[in-house]
Structure 1
Amino acid sequence: MQRYFVTPAGLTETEVVLEGDDARHLATVMRAKAGDPFVACDGEGTEYVAEAAEVSPGRVVGRIVQRRASASEMRWRVTVAQSLPKGDKLETVIQKGTEAGAYAFQPFLSRRTVVQYDDRKEAKRVERWRKIAKEAAEQAHRGRVPEVGAVASWKALLAGFAEYDAVWLCYEEEGRAGVGLKPVLRAFGSSLGEGETPNLLLVVGPEGGFAPEEAEQAIAAGAACVGLGRRILRTETAALVALAAIGYESGEMGG
């Protein structure tokens, strides 16, 4: 069934209402007609199975026939902090990271960030990133849309480390030394109580990686530096590799 995210204004006790692009997609692209089922998600983990009652390109009204909790979210909530990469690489990170289960994304600026950041264009860029996250969440049958934060400074990112249960900074020097993510994940997992849902921050550097002093600052702020293997990964690949490893260790793949 086709899935869409709705705001609280689009939900009542008995009905769900789609408007704008979502209504147009269901009515025009999917050619829905009265009686056809679809799923609406409130973005907070609850799904509503509905049957279309009124269908038009500008508005679709569905009758709710079932409510259920989403079972598609990772138990370990991982926010990906990604230093701004060149071109559209961040779009790739957000799209694929959403599919892989990331809880949120926090773009930031670091010493070796290459892209020329223009804060006058920030609002438009963040809007596009959030749209990409929404579309990827729908495609991946997520129960919520990952939040995409406004671009932060390195100093602001460090100040926020205390909000997380653990912060892991992906650092190629650790990978070369054979200090990998696996033992860190194993130790962290064994420290959790039954059913506990930790909030984690995964920090990924730009094309040139982190400067040594940045790694030192991150450690001083409470982060652990981890390697993702002995190979050098592209910045848009690193977060996806780490998310897969975290998903595996947290039981996402079964067990």
Structure 2
Amino acid sequence: MQRYFIAPEQFGEHTVMIDGEDAHHLLKVMRMKAGDEIIVCDGLGKSARAKLTLLQAGQAEADITEWLGASAEPLWKVTVAQSLPKGDKLETVIQKGTEVGAAAFIPFQSDRSIVQYDGKKEEKRRQRWSKIAKEAAEQAHREIIPHIGEVHSWKQLLQRMAEFDLVLFCYEKEGGAAGSGIADAARSFHRSRGESQEASILLVVGPEGGFTSQEAEQALAGGAQLAGLGKRILRTETAALVGLTCLMYESNEMGGA
């Protein structure tokens, strides 16, 4: 069933209002009509089944027929901190990371970031990134839209680390040594937390050239655990998705034991 994220204020007691691009998508792309059913979400975890009653250019209305049950969102709220990569790689990380289960994304600059931050373009880029996250969340039947944070400096990201229950710093020099991998760290953390325990995790991924040894030392001093992603060197966008998938698996979101 087609799913749409709408603002909380668009929910009434028994009805919902859908406008803008979503209304256009219903009418012109999906070619729905009165009587068809959709799922609507407020992006904060509340969702309902609704039956369309009105469709016209730029606006649709629907009656709520059923409030949906328990959230299918991961218990581990993973924020992916991704050093700004070249081209559209960050878009790939946001799209696929949303599908896998990321709760939020923080773009940041590190010593070896090739892309130079341009404050004048940030708001436009964030709007595009947020749209990509929304569309991916709808496709993946998520109940929240991952938050896209402002671009951070390395210093700002270091200061944020204290906010999380676990910080994993993806560092290729950890390689495939026994006990040094991200799965090992996640498994140990899972045992310490127990089953059915929510947690906030920050997954820190470097740029194309990797992190410097100084950044690794600073992250370690800031409370992060250095974690490898195996013996092979991964592209930055691959590393983010592999790390996130490991965390989802180790928290039993993908059938792990």
TM range (shorter): over 0.9
Cα deviation, 1:35-73, whole Å, max 9, x if unaligned, reads 000010011112110000001131110000000135431
Residue 12 in structure 1 maps to residue 12 in structure 2 = yes
| Cα displacement (A) at 1:8 | 1.6
1:4–1:39 Cα contact (<8 Å) kept: yes
The residue that corresponds to 2:116 in the other structure is 116
The residue that corresponds to 1:196 in the other structure is 197
The residue that corresponds to 1:251 in the other structure is 252
| Cα displacement (A) at 1:176 | 5.0
The residue that corresponds to 2:41 in the other structure is 41
Where structure 2 has 5 or more consecutive residues not aligned to the other structure, the ranges are none
CA distance in 2, matches of 1:63, 1:105: 34
The residue that corresponds to 2:181 in the other structure is 180
* Structure 1 SS opposite 2:158: helix
2:176–2:229 Cα contact (<8 Å) kept: no
Amino acid at match of 1:169: F
The residue that corresponds to 1:100 in the other structure is 100
* Structure 2 SS opposite 1:229: coil
Instruction: From the superposition, tell whether residues 204 and 71 of structure 1 become closer, same or farther in structure 2 (CA, over 3 Å).
Output: same
CA distance in 1, matches of 2:195, 2:95: 31
Amino acid at match of 2:242: V
The percentage of aligned residue pairs carrying the same residue is 56
1:218-229 aligned at under 5 Å gives the runs: 218-229=219-230
CA distance in 2, matches of 1:155, 1:52: 49
Where structure 1 has 5 or more consecutive residues not aligned to the other structure, the ranges are none
1:47–1:70 Cα contact (<8 Å) kept: no
| Cα displacement (A) at 1:227 | 0.3
CA distance in 2, matches of 1:201, 1:80: 6
CA distance in 1, matches of 2:53, 2:62: 5
CA distance in 2, matches of 1:211, 1:238: 16
| Cα displacement (A) at 1:74 | 1.1
CA distance in 2, matches of 1:30, 1:157: 41
Residue 163 in structure 1 maps to residue 163 in structure 2 = yes
Number of residue-to-residue matches in the alignment: 255
The residue that corresponds to 1:236 in the other structure is 237
| Cα displacement (A) at 1:153 | 0.3
Amino acid at match of 1:225: L
* Structure 1 SS opposite 2:193: coil
CA distance in 2, matches of 1:29, 1:169: 42
2:80–2:104 Cα contact (<8 Å) kept: yes
TM-score of the aligned structures, taking structure 1 as reference length = 0.97
RMSD, matched Cα: 1.1
1:20-99 aligned at under 5 Å gives the runs: 20-69=20-69, 71-99=71-99
Cα deviation, 1:155-182, whole Å, max 9, x if unaligned, reads 0000010000010000000015452112
CA distance in 2, matches of 1:69, 1:173: 44
* Structure 2 SS opposite 1:191: helix
Cα deviation, 1:69-128, whole Å, max 9, x if unaligned, reads 354311111000000000100000000000010000000000000012211111101111
CA distance in 2, matches of 1:209, 1:177: 18
CA distance in 1, matches of 2:240, 2:232: 14
Instruction: From the superposition, tell whether residues 99 and 198 of structure 1 become closer, same or farther in structure 2 (CA, over 3 Å).
Output: same
Amino acid at match of 1:239: A
CA distance in 1, matches of 2:197, 2:146: 20
